[in-house]
Amino acid sequence: MYLTDYHTHTKLSPDGSVPLADMADAAVAAGLNELCVTDHCDLLELYGEPVDHYDWPPALEQYAAVAPRYAGKLTIRLGLEFGMAHLNPEVSRAILDRPELDFVLGSIHNLCPEKGGTDFYYVDYPDPAACYAALDDYFSSMAKLAVTDFYDVLSHIIYPLRYMDHPISLDRYHDVLDGIFRAAAERGRGIEINTWRGRTLKEWLPVLKQFKACGGEIVTIGSDAHTTDGVGKGCEQACQLLAEAGFRYLATYEKRKPVFHTL
């Protein structure tokens, strides 16, 4: 089995503190074949302040210093977790115009600007009604992102559910997700299984089956690790879920092009 972790963060993410070399060591220890570093770039800050650039030099410097040292034992790719890219197409094109870039996770982390732009982590969810209001906004933004060219794979489709302590069903979003998944599939793009460091696995099975029914073929796997102890967590089990959902391949990326590995 080809094991990969395509959603990881280093000290260059606002919520990270670990250098890439340490994450790579953890990936080797976990038996991974491939690691992609996807540090954060969000066009909205945590409380909705707009962002119009990304500081590429530190990311390029870190990657160039570390990746060659692991040749032969771990493939390391340079990625980006790009949040809310649909909000500013001109800025998004400029940020992604990098020949060194292998992979782009398209993320929705925030409420839309009209509703304050707060990261879902900081939103209050006192009852199911508040949860569904947030999910309405979340999937509305994702639908807008899905029809752009600013991602390779849509990240953590079920992201806000992490922070909700109420029993929430995605049944009411079936048609919306159909539209999102068809838009991604028609553009030759995919989704990820985000294991949330091994904490979300079985939740992905209905999502994967729906994506496949909509013509989706490209799926990556990521732990969303921000520290070394999360690297690779749940990735092997995610491969098994992918096969259970009827997929034959796991995807990785090189220079924004998918590479397929038989499960």
Q: Give the pLDDT means over successive 10-residue stretches in the chain (263 positions).
A: 97 96 98 98 96 98 98 97 98 98 98 97 97 98 98 98 94 97 98 97 97 98 98 98 98 98 97
Query: What's residue 49's pLDDT?
Result: 96
Is the entire prediction scored with pTM above 0.75?
A: yes
Q: Give pLDDT tens digits for 117-143.
A: 999 999 999 999 999 999 999 999 999
Nearest to 106 by CA among 160, 150, 140: 150
We report the CATH number of the domain holding residue 47 as: 3.20.20.140
Q: Which residues contact 62 (CB under 8 A, 6 or more apart)?
A: 10, 12, 19, 20, 37
Query: What's residue 240's pLDDT?
Result: 97
Place of tokens 């980006």: 80
How many structural domains are present in the chain?
1
Domain that holds residue 84: 4-262
Structure token pair of residue 19:
């250098």
Burial label, 68 (beta-carbon count in 10 A; 0-12, 13-18, 19+): exposed
Q: Give pLDDT tens digits for 55-65.
A: 999 999 999 99
